[in-house]
């Protein structure tokens, strides 16, 4: 990857569980060449760690507002992240 690298932690709220949001997120992240993970939270939200080229991370954040069919996103909270990032993009439990 070229250009600035960036990692963010994102919390997505709304109707995002029970609609394959994690599987969709993994697919979109892989298409963009991103690494990280995504997981469901007990409060009904979804959290993801997304890392890669700055432009790809920005594109992914925009896509998170859409989500898969059936999703209804009400909020996307973003914070810059640091630390270990997996070499792939995985769904974690």
Q: What is the pLDDT of residues 43-87, one digit of tens each?
A: 999 999 999 999 999 999 999 999 999 999 999 999 999 888 899
- Which one, of 54, 69, 61, lies nearest residue 23 by Cα? 69
- Catalytic residue (choose from 22, 31, 39, 69): 22
40 in catalytic set = yes
Q: Give residue 3's pLDDT band: very low, low, confident or very high (50, 70, 90).
A: confident
Q: Exactly one of 11, 39, 40, 63 is catalytic; which is it?
A: 40
User: What average pLDDT does the structure give for the chain?
Assistant: 95
Helix (H, G, I), strand (E, B) or coil at 87: coil
pTM for this structure?
0.93
Q: Is 6 a catalytic residue?
A: no
């Amino acid at each position: 990857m070229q250009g600035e690298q960036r990692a963010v932690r994102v919390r997505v709220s709304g109707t995002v569980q029970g609609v394959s949001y994690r599987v969709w997120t993994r697919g979109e992240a892989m298409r963009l060449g991103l690494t990280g993970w995504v997981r469901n939270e007990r409060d009904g939200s979804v959290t993801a760690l997304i890392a890669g080229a700055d432009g790809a991370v920005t594109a992914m954040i925009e896509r998170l507002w859409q989500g898969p069919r059936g999703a209804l996103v009400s909020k996307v909270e973003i914070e810059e992240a640091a630390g270990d990032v997996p070499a792939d993009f995985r769904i974690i439990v």
